[in-house]
Each structure stands twice: as C-alpha cells, then as structure tokens.
Amino acid sequence: MADKLLNLKQVEDLIGFKRTWIYEQVRSGTFPSPIRINSRSRWSHRDVQKWITKQKQRNHRTSFWSRNFLRPFNQSRQVKPLF
C-alpha cells in the first residue's frame, strides 16, 4: 500500500499542535521532516504515525516510572513544618 502524504493542516489535525511547534520540532530533529514537492511541504503519514506511537510509548514509560517510583521518593523528601 502506498504511503499517503499529508499537508500541514492534516498534520496539525492529527497531532494537535500548530505550525510553529511542528517546524520547531522539525528543526530540533524530534519530528519527521517534510518532503518538499515543488514549493509545498508534505509529511509521510507513516512517519507521523511512527512519531505518535513513539510519543505514546515514551509517555507510558514516563508515567509508569513517576507513578511507581518517583512520587513516593519526592513525597518522602517534603519538609514538614515543626509547629
């Protein structure tokens, strides 16, 4: 099956972020680069979906660690008033 190409509006709708954020992430290397066709930018649907999956996995791992290990440690370090 051929990979569908998405325009900026479709990418915005898919990931929930706007143009400025998307291009900042492209420049920093954390979001897929667009494919340039003439003067237009298009993103590979497959690449954007991989990025979404990676973010979900990363978020799941982060929430697992913070939920099971970091919170009790941070809570135990809170200073309680003496009086």
End-to-end CA distance of the chain: 69
User: Under CATH, which number does the domain 5-75 receive?
Assistant: 1.10.238.160
Tell me the pLDDT band of 19, cut-offs 50, 70 and 90. very high
Q: Determine whether 46 is exposed, middle or buried from the number of CB atoms within 10 Å of its CB (0-12, 13-18, 19+).
A: middle
Long-range contacts (CB closer than 8 Å, 24 or more residues apart) made by 57-62: none
Q: What is the pLDDT of residues 20-57, one digit of tens each?
A: 999 999 999 999 999 999 999 999 999 999 999 999 98
Percentage of the chain lying above the pLDDT 70 cut:
71
- The half-sphere exposure of 44 on its side-chain side, counting CA atoms within 13 A, is 11
Model-wide pTM > 0.85: no
